Chain A
């Protein structure tokens, strides 16, 4: 008997998830090296890396939530505007309604929860396309932000300001400035939150039944049902978690910028989707991982760093590059996976 059935070695044995993550990490490392080469040793300082984390803590959280939903085969483009809504609402709560830091955190999570409940129900139980549900969510959040308060303003609540300027020192990674003073490397509180989220979600996806169900539902929802999984509930929870994470990520963003503004996090959903795709999450579902998404965010940010260090006009070069990378990765994904599948099916 011919070894039609014998397992073949080589690329076909790596799972799709791992293969795409591998490609992403390679791309990121290459990019970072290129940045170091082009932009000199300034890039080598660990603080540079920590600054990337500081700047993108909220995007990391948003992208992780987005990956969850994408793994189940859905999408949620409202997360950016939910972030803006959270910022504005918490700002108003703190400065204009005498709230305290704890209540503002609760508000952030509550907003995320509310969006998640509604969107999750519409997508999972009423079976409406996730894109149009979240598009409506996007516009609803956008409008609501302006209704809450039309003008941007900085938060002056003392406890909050104190919290957001807290720097957590990272030992041993500091550098010496021109005067010879040792400046310790630091990260913001938001980064700690982001890392905790990444670790928790990694564990969720890898070891819990719910996490594995996400993959099954995204891989083949019909089969998942026949295998005994409650598909509707799984999708509902995915959308719920994504929006709750948008609430948490929104608060982290709020801590980072310290103000409320209708134009905050403009385009953040696009960045979250791009980060997920670059990190190896498939649009069609069933494939994706948190580590990859994390590196996807870092890749995106490195590009922005390179762009601004080169003195180019940041806003629109960034848009073009993000769109280009997105397109590129979409095509890479479809080519690599098509080849892989063609080899196996025969």
Chain B
């Protein structure tokens, strides 16, 4: 073999090992989107520094929108990744749960007065109450899955239906509005800081989950339970408890996103808030190269997947795709991803690869 073919072989095998890495899928998708937008309209990437109505400096532009709204998805993707990993299914009630969490926050802050002059309690208290409530609902879902052995998607269908109605009931069907500007800082901008606050909140959540994964065995346990619950049990792990915990963590994520959502508009719209966000969260996990059937996961890849989904959404918006038509395009992406990762399809691809490898060996000989 000549040095040229040696180099070529090394390049090809290097490329192959790169494609096998989990991060390859989200990175490739990111590249595809960037290149698409560069070709279609480079002004997509422009960031402007302007001033908002309160005369504070704010950054704006499509990229900022992606970071801003993508952060909500990233926070959800953290919880959804853990739930998928341990239970091999997805939680489709997160949108409804966000409505509940947001409603709880407003209820604590406004009491029974839907147009209060001042908030009735510190924001931190409202947030903590929302966390507790969201974790209880998470535990409800988790119990159905872990102890009653109901499929995750079906178990969470219950909260999916009832959630928004429960949210409306918490505030007696009224739409409280918070007048104080401090409340809006969480979802919009902190005065003097031009980067939207949700980005910082997401960053904080990423730090927290990174620390949790580093200083506890959560990652190891949920992966083990997702890959082989029998073996996990024989090693002393309690699979049911592990699953329950992952659903409760997702509940925490839901509470955080609830705060952001409500803070954006300082009020809530029960049927619209976080509508279809579960689809995006599931897509984020899948786009990160994680198996939707459970097992090993890569948290960074999921988070990246969340921002990429937002990139896709924002790109589609830019091209004036109606927000109600958006789901159709995303559905196509889901199907392609799921089909490509289906074991049956993978087997056929592997067989085809082996057959062509044999063929090329024969031809070389």
**A residues with CB within 8 A of B:** 75, 122, 125-129, 131-133, 135-140, 142-147, 150, 262, 267, 270, 273, 283, 313, 315-317, 319-320, 322-324, 326-327, 330, 334
| Cβ contact of B151, chosen from A131, A143, A144, A267, cutoff 8 A | A131
- Determine the chain A residues whose CB is within 8 A of the CB of B151 once the complex forms: 131, 283
User: Does B178 sit at the interface, judged by CB under 8 A?
Assistant: no
| Cβ contact of A146, chosen from B157, B165, B324, B332, cutoff 8 A | B324
- Determine the chain B residues whose CB is within 8 A of the CB of A327 once the complex forms: 158
**B residues with CB within 8 A of A:** 89-90, 92, 148, 150-151, 153-154, 157-162, 164-166, 168-169, 173, 276, 279, 282, 292-293, 322, 324-332, 334-335, 338-339, 342-345
Instruction: Tell me the minimal C-beta distance from B280 to chain A in angstroms.
Output: 11
| Cβ contact of B161, chosen from A129, A138, A319, cutoff 8 A | A319
A273 touches B162 (CB 8 A): no
B331 touches A139 (CB 8 A): yes
In the A-B complex, the 7 residue pairs with the smallest Cβ-Cβ separation, listed nearest first, are A143-B328, A323-B162, A139-B327, A316-B165, A140-B331, A146-B324, A139-B331
- Determine the chain B residues whose CB is within 8 A of the CB of A145 once the complex forms: 324
Instruction: Tell me the minimal C-beta distance from B171 to chain A in angstroms.
Output: 12
A330 touches B344 (CB 8 A): no
Asked if A126 meets B331 with Cβ closer than 8 Å, knowing A146-B325, A283-B151, the reply is: no
Instruction: Tell me the minimal C-beta distance from A160 to chain B in angstroms.
Output: 25
Instruction: Tell me the minimal C-beta distance from B336 to chain A in angstroms.
Output: 10
B158 touches A122 (CB 8 A): no
Bound state CA distance, A322 and B215, in angstroms? 43
B173 touches A137 (CB 8 A): no
A330 touches B150 (CB 8 A): yes
Asked if A334 meets B324 with Cβ closer than 8 Å, knowing A131-B154, A140-B332, A313-B173, the reply is: no
The chain A residue with its CB closest to the CB of B329 is A143
Asked if A143 meets B158 with Cβ closer than 8 Å, knowing A126-B344, A132-B338, the reply is: no
- Determine the chain A residues whose CB is within 8 A of the CB of B160 once the complex forms: 270
- Determine the chain A residues whose CB is within 8 A of the CB of B328 once the complex forms: 139-140, 142-144, 146-147
Most buried by A among B90, B324, B326: B324
B173 touches A133 (CB 8 A): no
Most buried by B among A126, A313, A324: A126
- Name 10 interchain pairs, CB-CB below 8 A, sorted by A: A126-B342, A129-B292, A132-B292, A136-B332, A146-B322, A316-B169, A319-B161, A323-B158, A323-B161, A334-B148
B339 touches A150 (CB 8 A): no
- Determine the chain B residues whose CB is within 8 A of the CB of A324 once the complex forms: 162
Instruction: Tell me the minimal C-beta distance from A223 to chain B in angstroms.
Output: 20
- Determine the chain A residues whose CB is within 8 A of the CB of B153 once the complex forms: 129, 131-132, 135
The chain B residue with its CB closest to the CB of A140 is B331
The chain B residue with its CB closest to the CB of A150 is B322
Asked if A136 meets B322 with Cβ closer than 8 Å, knowing A316-B165, A323-B161, A326-B158, the reply is: no
Bound state CA distance, A133 and B336, in angstroms? 11
| Cβ contact of A139, chosen from B154, B162, B279, B344, cutoff 8 A | B279
- Determine the chain A residues whose CB is within 8 A of the CB of B332 once the complex forms: 136, 140
B331 touches A283 (CB 8 A): no
Bound state CA distance, A138 and B293, in angstroms? 20
A139 touches B330 (CB 8 A): yes
B342 touches A127 (CB 8 A): yes
B329 touches A326 (CB 8 A): no
B276 touches A139 (CB 8 A): yes
- Determine the chain B residues whose CB is within 8 A of the CB of A128 once the complex forms: 338-339, 342
- Determine the chain B residues whose CB is within 8 A of the CB of A323 once the complex forms: 158-159, 161-162, 165
- Determine the chain B residues whose CB is within 8 A of the CB of A320 once the complex forms: 162, 165-166, 169
Instruction: Tell me the minimal C-beta distance from B143 to chain A in angstroms.
Output: 12
B161 touches A132 (CB 8 A): no
Instruction: Tell me the minimal C-beta distance from A113 to chain B in angstroms.
Output: 18
Instruction: Tell me the minimal C-beta distance from B328 to chain A in angstroms.
Output: 2
B161 touches A322 (CB 8 A): yes
- Determine the chain A residues whose CB is within 8 A of the CB of B169 once the complex forms: 316, 320
Bound state CA distance, A75 and B157, in angstroms? 12
The chain B residue with its CB closest to the CB of A147 is B325
Bound state CA distance, A313 and B344, in angstroms? 49
A137 touches B343 (CB 8 A): no
- Determine the chain B residues whose CB is within 8 A of the CB of A137 once the complex forms: 331
Instruction: Tell me the minimal C-beta distance from A334 to chain B in angstroms.
Output: 6
A127 touches B344 (CB 8 A): yes
B168 touches A316 (CB 8 A): yes
Bound state CA distance, A136 and B328, in angstroms? 8
- Determine the chain B residues whose CB is within 8 A of the CB of A147 once the complex forms: 322, 325, 328
B165 touches A143 (CB 8 A): no
The chain B residue with its CB closest to the CB of A145 is B324
- Determine the chain B residues whose CB is within 8 A of the CB of A135 once the complex forms: 92, 153, 279, 334
